[in-house]
Every structure is written in C-alpha cells, then in structure tokens.
C-alpha cells in the first residue's frame, strides 16, 4: 500500500523538491499550497493539490479535513515545511507583525498537526518532520522575530516527540542553513530602507534545496530517525559553536551576521 505524505509550502523551494522526490519514491503526495494556481499546478504534476493558508485557522481546518478524506485516515507522514520570515530590529516590529510570524511558523503548525494526529495514531506508525532553521539554534541581529518562532518550533517539536513516545510516530527537525530558495525574496522587511541582508559567507556556503532530500528520506524511512538534521556547513558549524563557545564569544561571532544595507 502506498503511503500518504502531506507536505506544506509546496509552491517552490524545499517543499517542491520534496514533493517531486517523494512522488518518485512511490509516496502518495498531498501537496499543500496557499495560492489556487499553485494548487492546480500540483494536480497537473500528479500530486494531490491541497489548498492551505497556514496563517488562517479556517483554512487549516478545511485542509485537514480534505487530507483525512483523501487518505482515508491513514496518513503516514506530515512534513511541516511552510513558513516565512519577518526581518528587522525588534524595536521596529509591531505586536501584529510578531503575532503573524508566530501564527505562520508555529501556531498553524500546531493546529494542523493536532488535527491530523487522529489520522495517524490508530495506525501505530508515522513520521512528523518539521522544517526549522539554523535560526532555531542561534539568533542574530535583525532576525529576532524569525529566530524566536523557530526556537519555539524546536521546543514544541521536542515536547511532541516525547508525548508521542510509544505510539510509533516519530518526530524530527530539519535545520537548514543558507539554501537557494525564494525565502529571502519573500521576507517581510520592517525597514525597507535598511533591509537585513545575509552576510557574504552565507551565499558562499548556500546549497540548493535538494540538499535536504537525504535528510528527509532518512527521517521518513529509517528505523532510527534522528531528532535533528542540520543541513549545510553553516548549520553544522553553528551547532558545534553553540555547544562549545561561551555565550559572550558566540555573541561576537553572530553580531556581524545581522547585516543591514
């Protein structure tokens, strides 16, 4: 029997390459996108297009019901990949901007996951994979809101993993560093005249979105999936630096990574 996997944020980047790869590997791919034209494109590509605006509670409810109907309550995997970033000094962020950052990157993930657990728990197996970020490990100037949402996603994933112990459902985090996607182009900058830009080193070590595929396959198919999967040299390096450097020294390293023009 083919396994059903739901992937959010499939219009481009990591979500799109994940959908292509898992479809080729024999999964029944439920490809969720926000825009109707992208949903139709997913159908044309041979996936099951799902309309989903992760920032809208009603849309999440409709999408979850659609997913459960399509898979007959036998969902094997959920890849929570959709998200976006709000960049700018914390003093320039409104409460509403901060709330929307968390609504998309955490609250929607929580709602979708809990609505779909009834389609996973009775089956005694399953995988939940969440796209975090290197910004879920460290924070830098100008990225405080985005980093806060990813730090929260990491904590949420840890709690969920422990709560699901013994159910057969495993929870993993993918932690990409710099990846060539449209994410940066879609960032909401609070200061248009002083946008937060990636440092040159990020571009030097950036990888294509396909770099996440070996980690995603392992998370979905290994009998012993890892808790966390850093992707790119930057992510691996910062994982080590956070562990070994005193906080004051780590601050010195990171202060230069909040570049504004």
pLDDT digits (tens, 9 = 90+) for 67-85: 999 999 999 999 999 999 9
Q: Give me Rg for the CA atoms of the chain.
A: 18
Whole-angstrom Cα distance, residue 133 to residue 175? 4
**Predicted local distance difference test score (pLDDT) of residue 261:** 40
**Phi/psi of residue 82, each to 5°?**
-65, 145
Residues belonging to the active site: 146
Flag the least confident range among 123-137, 186-200, 204-218: 186-200
- Which residues have CB under 8 Å from 106's CB, separation 6+? 149, 152, 153, 156
Q: What is the mean pLDDT of the chain?
A: 93
Neighbours of 171 (CB within 10 A): 24
Number of H helices, E strands in the chain: 10, 11
pLDDT at 243 over 60: yes
More confident residue, 88 or 192: 88
The pLDDT tens digits of the residues spanning 250-259 come to 788 788 655 5
Question: Quick check: 102 and 149 in contact, CB under 8 A?
Answer: yes
What's the pLDDT band for 245 if we cut at 50, 70, 90? Answer: confident
**Predicted local distance difference test score (pLDDT) of residue 44:** 97
**Phi/psi of residue 238, each to 5°?**
-70, -30
**Predicted local distance difference test score (pLDDT) of residue 257:** 57
**169 membership: H or E segment, kind and range:** strand 169-176
pLDDT at 9 over 50: yes
**Predicted local distance difference test score (pLDDT) of residue 232:** 87
DSSP 7: E
What's the pLDDT band for 127 if we cut at 50, 70, 90? Answer: very high
**Predicted local distance difference test score (pLDDT) of residue 185:** 76
Helix %, strand %, coil % of the chain (to 5): 50, 20, 30
More confident residue, 232 or 42: 42
**Predicted local distance difference test score (pLDDT) of residue 159:** 98
Whole-angstrom Cα distance, residue 163 to residue 116? 15
Q: How distant is the alpha carbon of residue 29 from its chain centre?
A: 17
- Tokens for 184, please give them: 């940066």
The pLDDT tens digits of the residues spanning 165-188 come to 999 999 999 999 989 887 877 888
More confident residue, 192 or 128: 128
| Helices 233-244, 247-255: inter-axial angle, 10-degree rounding | 150
Average pLDDT over residues 143-168: 97
- Tokens for 3, please give them: 């396994």
The pLDDT tens digits of the residues spanning 16-35 come to 999 999 999 999 999 999 99
Question: Quick check: 175 and 216 in contact, CB under 8 A?
Answer: no
Whole-angstrom Cα distance, residue 65 to residue 59? 10
Question: Quick check: 96 and 29 in contact, CB under 8 A?
Answer: no
CATH of domain 4-260: 3.40.50.720
**Residue whose token pair is 């979850």:** 64
| Helices 57-71, 108-116: inter-axial angle, 10-degree rounding | 30
For residue 49, list its beta bridge partners.
31
pLDDT at 260 over 50: no
């Amino acid at each position: 029997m083919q396994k059903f996997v739901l992937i959010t944020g499939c219009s481009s980047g990591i979500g799109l390459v994940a959908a292509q790869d898992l479809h080729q590997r024999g999964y029944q791919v439920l490809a969720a996108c926000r825009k109707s034209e992208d949903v139709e494109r997913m159908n044309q590509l041979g996936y099951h297009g799902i309309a989903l605006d992760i920032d809208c509670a009603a849309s999440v409810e409709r999408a979850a019901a659609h997913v459960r109907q399509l898979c007959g309550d036998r969902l094997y995997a959920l890849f929570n990949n959709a998200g976006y970033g709000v960049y700018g000094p914390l003093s320039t962020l409104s409460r509403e901007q901060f709330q929307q950052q968390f609504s998309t990157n955490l609250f929607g993930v929580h709602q979708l996951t809990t609505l779909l657990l009834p389609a996973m728990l009775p089956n005694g197996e399953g995988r939940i994979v969440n796209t975090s970020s290197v910004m879920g490990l460290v924070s830098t100037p100008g990225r405080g809101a985005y980093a806060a949402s990813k730090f929260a996603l990491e904590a949420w994933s840890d709690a969920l993993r422990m709560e699901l112990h013994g159910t057969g459902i495993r929870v993993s985090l993918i932690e990409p560093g710099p990846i060539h996607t449209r994410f940066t182009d879609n960032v909401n900058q609070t200061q248009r005249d002083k946008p937060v830009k990636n440092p040159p080193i990020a571009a030097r070590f950036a990888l294509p979105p396909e770099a996440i595929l070996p980690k995603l396959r392992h998370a979905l198919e290994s009998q012993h999936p890892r808790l966390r999967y850093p992707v790119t040299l930057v992510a691996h390096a910062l994982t080590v630096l956070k562990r070994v450097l005193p906080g004051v020294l780590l601050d010195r390293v990171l202060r230069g990574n909040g570049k504004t023009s």
